[in-house]
């Protein structure tokens, strides 16, 4: 699988570290239900078949965090964007 890094161009997935679903937002540790919320945040994940937004880190390249939109059945990549840009626009939680 090749991931099209916005800075380095297409690179083999071996250069990247997969960090899971791009949607979960870290819970507030001061919230009343913080312990339960953190348990769900750490351990409960969807396992979608189809289009999915994932967080990848270009560990052996430009060191950029990316949101990769990938079909989990075929590994076809539909789009890649910097995670920081998506987070700033409020899209990382979608």
Please check whether residue 26 is in contact with residue 40, taking contact to mean a CB–CB distance below 8 angstroms: no
What domains appear along the chain, each with residue ranges and CATH number?
2-26+36-88 (3.30.2270.10)
So what's the pLDDT on residue 46? 84
Please check whether residue 56 is in contact with residue 19, taking contact to mean a CB–CB distance below 8 angstroms: yes
So what's the pLDDT on residue 92? 42
Please check whether residue 7 is in contact with residue 64, taking contact to mean a CB–CB distance below 8 angstroms: yes
So what's the pLDDT on residue 79? 96
So what's the pLDDT on residue 89? 52
pLDDT in tens, the chain (94 residues): 999 999 999 999 999 999 999 988 899 999 999 999 999 999 998 888 999 999 999 999 999 999 999 999 999 999 999 998 765 555 444 4
């Amino acid at each position: 699988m090749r991931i099209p890094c916005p800075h380095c161009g297409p690179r083999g997935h071996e250069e990247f570290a997969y960090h899971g679903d791009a949607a979960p937002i870290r819970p507030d540790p001061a919230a009343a239900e913080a312990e339960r919320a953190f348990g769900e945040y750490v351990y409960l994940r969807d396992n979608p078949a189809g289009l999915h937004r994932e967080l990848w880190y270009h560990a052996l390249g430009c060191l950029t965090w990316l949101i990769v939109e990938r079909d989990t059945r075929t590994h076809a990549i539909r789009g890649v964007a910097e995670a920081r840009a998506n987070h700033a626009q409020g899209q990382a939680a979608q």
